[in-house]
Amino acid sequence: MSFVQTLITAVQPEVVQWRRHIHEHPYVAYEEQPTADYVADLLGCMPAPLDIRRLTPNSVVADLRGGAGEGPMYALRADMDALPLQEESGEPFAPTWMHCRCRRRAASP
């Protein structure tokens, strides 16, 4: 198993717990400040040099700067608002509103 796979395996249970917490406490667009607070708190506990900013009460931006100098930059973007749909998964953590799926895209440096 590679080093990255080992790290992913180690943090997976905690990441699942975060996802379930967000899924259990959904907020529709422009009302998701508690979700943004939760994400900002989680990022603030990370053992990495993150520059965390709140551009609006409902948003979180975190920059991680490496020490290797200038180079490519990657951006991860995630919608934190829920959609006004009834989830029918039957899971114990299912909300009454459906969350948007996360999206990933590359950003230019």
| pLDDT tens per residue, range 45-91 | 988 888 999 999 999 999 887 777 777 777 888 888 887 777 777 77
Assess whether pLDDT exceeds 70 at residue 100.
Answer: no
| pLDDT tens per residue, range 5-55 | 998 999 999 999 999 999 888 898 999 999 999 999 999 998 888 899 999
Assess whether pLDDT exceeds 50 at residue 109.
Answer: no
CB atoms within 10 A of CB 27: 19
Q: What is the pTM of this model?
A: 0.72
50 burial via Cβ count (<10 Å: 0-12, 13-18, 19+): middle
Measured at the CA of 7, the angle between CA 4 and CA 8, to 5 degrees, comes to: 85
**Fold designation for 3-107:** Aminopeptidase (3.40.630)
